[in-house]
Amino acid sequence: MAYTAPLKDMLFNIRHLARIDEIAQLPGFEDAGLETAQAVLEESARFNQDVVAPLNEAGDRNPSAWSDGVVTTTPGFKDAFKQFAAGGWQGLQHPADFGGQGLPKTIGAACGEMLNSANLSFALCPLLTDGAIEALLTAGSEQLQATYLERLVSGEWTGTMNLTEPQAGSDLALVRTRAEPLPDGRYKLFGTKIFITYGEHDMADNIVHLVLARVQGAPEGVKGISLFVAPKFLVNADGSPGQRNDVRCVSIEHKLGIKASPTAVLQFGDAGEGAIGELVGEENRGLEYMFIMMNAARYAVGVQGIAVAESAYQKAAAFAKDRVQSRPVDGSVAGSASIVHHPDVRRMLMTMRALTEGCRAMASVAAAAYDAAHHHPDAQVRKDNQAFYEFMVPLVKGYSTEMSLEVTSLGVQVHGGMGFIEETGAAQFYRDARILPIYEGTTAIQANDLVGRKTARDGGKGAKAIAAQVEATEAELAASGSADAQAVARRLAAARQAFAEVVDFIAGASRSDPNAVYAGSVPYLLLAGNLVAGWQLARGLLAAEQHRGEDPAFMQAKIATARFYAEHILTRVPGQRDAIVDGAASVTALPLEAF
């Protein structure tokens, strides 16, 4: 089955939920209206369907290989990446000042989904490069920006993020990589970094490593971490790659999924000379700068979850329409029929579809908030949109990636025994998706951020502001008068009320009983993500009813999917509320020695 980009759904979200015409009124985005969005998305679809997607299965079966410090990517990847760079796709959202196209995130996120649906392993290289670009744009000196940004934005060079060490996973206070100052203002780096995505490969002329390390004498813990640029090849005065830096790939990991993406172990100072690095920003502010990369990557990983879910859904739906097994229970077909006739298969396909479309809608609205936060002329509007976007990031990352596990697992189930056979391809989506709730901060880390920084810190004020927007949508649904809108309004109201009760619980107990609150942090994230995705589908239902005549079959499908989500997925929320508010004590009831 070939991947087909879901252009209609993407453009529906961009038009009706993200409101691209309002984004096109923001300074710098005047040429980025619906017509531009459609043209860019259609071209992105052609490239990803024709060039990138055909390499996905090949990458799983013939992954990147390491030999004596050299990594060779899957055949076809190098040429596809050159086409990706030549098409300007790396620079889609980045500033025109450095060779980018300066388009809104609202458009870029949809293109990113297509790239990840086509080939998750391939897409990881530009994803990390985007993070490096964001960090240098925010904290890099003019000299660093002049040296690196144009080549990163063009895709001529790629970027990495070097945080994790063998003894320091999510706890970056334990980072030991050291930076020794040199007389010329540069530094020598010594240390080992693990889990470095595309830390070594053959697809670009240079690899720009952004590295967390400690300058000698720095404070202990996270307050003593600095950020450095240490390229694979040092850069000559004319901007060309020069002498090889003292950083080597000593191995790559053998993984459950995303096998074509080389996950490197990098040794800085392997030859004893030290890898030459340049400081980004100020000493001891590295974690602050790295989180610029992390937040960009976290949103992008959420989009990866949506992308792999879409691919799994397409494959499962195609299989269900072709696979003939058993008579339908309603007798609508005399003999055996394709399994799509069976109610439980329909239930699984609808679950896959509703979850994927709900998260896509949520991510699109979050991207629009990001665009407004960075470009709106009114300071208060920028502030409000930034707060909304920051609340959305752990939901997009956490809920969308956890959702992808459910959807890809259902994809295997729809295939039955054939899904357990590698040749059908359903299993690859399941395996590839499994990393998504882990890297760039596990679901628990996203949930802790949602509880601590996004909910408890302001006493639930921001969360309740979102609940108020949901309630306004309920009123619109009630005013619609249709049976579908009424049904969705009822379920949305119950979910919102449960969300509000959990917010009150978190705000009231985060200091007095932190174990009780954090025992329910991941369920809270899933509850909040479920609510917001359902809310966006409800908004979509209203738009579909209003514009039904434009494309009746598509609009009716949007209405049916929103109602299914409300009745089968939003209904999970009250139970999650009970587990969080009433079930905290049982989480920690067993003594540690009982495990």
Question: 207-215 and 178-181: which strand pairing?
Answer: parallel
Note the Cα 244 to chain centre separation in Å.
33
Rounded Cα distance, 575 and 58, in Å:
42
Rounded Cα distance, 571 and 545, in Å:
23
Long-range contacts of 384-389 (CB under 8 A, 24+ apart): 387/462, 388/462, 388/466
Q: Of 310, 440, 474, 545, which is the active-site residue?
A: 440
Question: 263-268 and 247-252: which strand pairing?
Answer: antiparallel
The gap between the terminal CA atoms of the chain, to the nearest Å, is: 45
Q: CA angle, 57 as apex, 266 and 300 as ends, to 5°?
A: 55
Query: Do 260 and 60 contact (CB within 8 A), yes or no?
Result: yes
Residue type, 521: S
Residues 6+ apart with CB under 8 A from 322: 338
CB-count burial class (<10 Å; 0-12, 13-18, 19+) for 58: middle
Which two three-digit tokens encode residue 141? 């000196």
Phi, psi (deg, nearest 5) at residue 561: -70, -40
- Alpha-carbon dihedral of residues 417, 422, 428, 431, nearest 10 degrees? 70
DSSP secondary structure of 372-399: HHHH-S-HHHHHHHHHHHHHHHHHHHHH
Note the Cα 576 to chain centre separation in Å.
24
Rounded Cα distance, 82 and 508, in Å:
54
Rounded Cα distance, 405 and 355, in Å:
11
Residues 6+ apart with CB under 8 A from 424: 315, 319, 415, 418
Write b or e for each residue in 533-562: b if 16 or more Cβ atoms lie within 10 A of its Cβ, otherwise e: bbbbbbbbbbbbbebeeeeeeebebbbbbb
Phi, psi (deg, nearest 5) at residue 141: -70, 165
Is 43 tagged catalytic? no
Phi, psi (deg, nearest 5) at residue 19: 60, 65
CB-count burial class (<10 Å; 0-12, 13-18, 19+) for 7: middle
Q: CA angle, 514 as apex, 513 and 520 as ends, to 5°?
A: 110
Query: 123 by DSSP, 3-state: which?
Result: helix
Q: Enumerate the active-site residues.
A: 440
